[in-house]
Amino acid sequence: MEKTDNKEMKSRRNRTGPYPMEKLKRVDIPTTKITDGVARFDERQHGFARVMRGELGAVPQKEMMRFIGKYPLGAAFTQAMAGLAGIKAGEPARTKAPIPEDPVLLSQHIKQLGYFLRADIMGICRLPQYAVYSHDMMGREINLEHKNAIVIVVDQDYDTMLGSTGDDWISGSQSFIGYSNAALISGIMADYIRRLGYPARAHNATGYQVVVPPLLLLAGIGEMSRAGIVVNPFLGARFKAAVVTTDLPLEPDKPVDFGLQKFCEKCLKCAVECHSGAIAKGGKVMYNGYETWHFDAGQCSKFRTSNPHGSSCGRCIKVCPWNKPPGWTHNTARWMIKNTPFMDSFLVKMDNLRGYGKQDDLFKWWFDLEEIDGELKVPQKKGSVSF
Ligand code: SF4
Ligand code: SF4
């Protein structure tokens, strides 16, 4: 399998970000139909909140507090994340900085700041009220009136994903490399905007007040997939995102269309490979005002917390055919999906024949370890599991 090493990506990183997002087809509305009937979501209804309350069984409830920290690198990430919680919110400076209030110029400035801070993709959209949680995990009502949302995307590392099964001991830490870097970038960015004299709040894994997937669609980061996660054509779903909401004047981006809706109809790879049965194999349904594939967040959260042979899970992300490095062969496949959708089934077959989605031991750099009663032990079993 190919490693990520691309000269063009390196040369454009600080100007426009490493990926050629400007080449994607832009559309006026997301490819997932969003009706007027979307109700604001209560964070207490999330899968992990249900696990915590014991609604999904005693084992996931018990494992909830250790499923990331039982792996030593995961424990190190969660410790570091706690330190980032303090820079999410605050009051803006009393006077505005002497900078032009030009939304186009400020959008370019904010995106370049994101790339300087090592974001992989940046996007901007207006903040619709349906993307603001009605209540947080503690049951507190949320009022957030900021006009704009800045979306910050961080890769979970392609090469590590090559060496992983997607549901082994590094899985939780792969999520947390994305979460922690996105939390740092969003925290610094929100603080910077407040110092310029504009209100701003960071939303990241230390505490979100916004629902991220619709913002990923509106800001043109990707399209909603069968796996219930947003897929980007260059990263697949191998990323985590943070958001900065603000009243800084900004120019919104447009949603993208790279052919994912038709492709996911033909490709069931994530649904076949998921151990929990969370991903539907059928067609789209209406859910809370969105027309998309049914995704059972409860089953997914249950598996991720109680996975006995690893820390969390990202197997759907690992096996998705969009989880690919840059390069002309994959760029040709991307072009075909957009322009010759009748070839989609053939491309899925080729993906399987070439062995994509399998673990490659050459890329496995970490130790398999599990913390039990304060001691690190070598786990008894490894590899893929049944649930
Ligand atoms: S994270 Fe794992 S359990 Fe959840 S949907 Fe993906 S493959 Fe299934
Ligand atoms: S694995 Fe296939 S069906 Fe699942 S999200 Fe990726 S492209 Fe869509």
Cβ count near 88 (within 10 Å): 22
Strand partners of residue 224: 230
Q: Residue 69 Cα, ligand 1 centroid: separation in angstroms?
A: 19
Mutate which of 31, 224, 225 to test ligand 2's pocket (most atoms within 8 Å of Cβ)?
Answer: 225
End-to-end CA distance of the chain: 29
Q: What is the pLDDT of residues 175-204, one digit of tens each?
A: 999 999 999 999 999 999 999 999 999 999
Strand partners of residue 231: 223
Would you call 264 helix, strand, or coil by DSSP? helix
Number of H helices, E strands in the chain: 14, 11
387 Cα nearest atom in ligand 1 = 3
Q: Which of 136, 177, 210, 153 is nearest to 21 (CA)?
A: 153
Residue 3: per-residue pLDDT: 53
Q: Is the CB of 161 under 6 A from ligand 2?
A: no
Q: Residue 213 — φ and ψ, nearest 5°?
A: -55, -45
Q: DSSP secondary-structure letter at 156?
A: -
Tokens standing for 83?
């330190």
Q: Residue 267 Cα, ligand 2 centroid: separation in angstroms?
A: 6
Question: Which residues of the chain fall below pLDDT 50?
Answer: 1, 383-387
225 Cα nearest atom in ligand 2 = 5
Amino acid residing at 87: I
Q: Residue 135 — φ and ψ, nearest 5°?
A: -140, 155
pTM, full prediction: 0.93
CA-to-CA distance for 326 and 313, rounded, in angstroms? 24
Q: Residue 276 Cα, ligand 1 centroid: separation in angstroms?
A: 7
Q: Residue 204 Cα, ligand 1 centroid: separation in angstroms?
A: 21
Q: Residue 126 Cα, ligand 1 centroid: separation in angstroms?
A: 30
CA atoms within 13 A on the CB side of 312: 20
Q: What is the pLDDT of residues 353-369, one digit of tens each?
A: 888 888 999 999 999 99
Q: Is the CB of 315 under 6 A from ligand 1?
A: yes
Using the structure block, give the residue that is written with the tokens 């995307």.
Answer: 153
CA-to-CA distance for 127 and 150, rounded, in angstroms? 9
Residue 332: per-residue pLDDT: 86
Residue 29: per-residue pLDDT: 96
Residue 386: per-residue pLDDT: 46
CA-to-CA distance for 294 and 292, rounded, in angstroms? 6
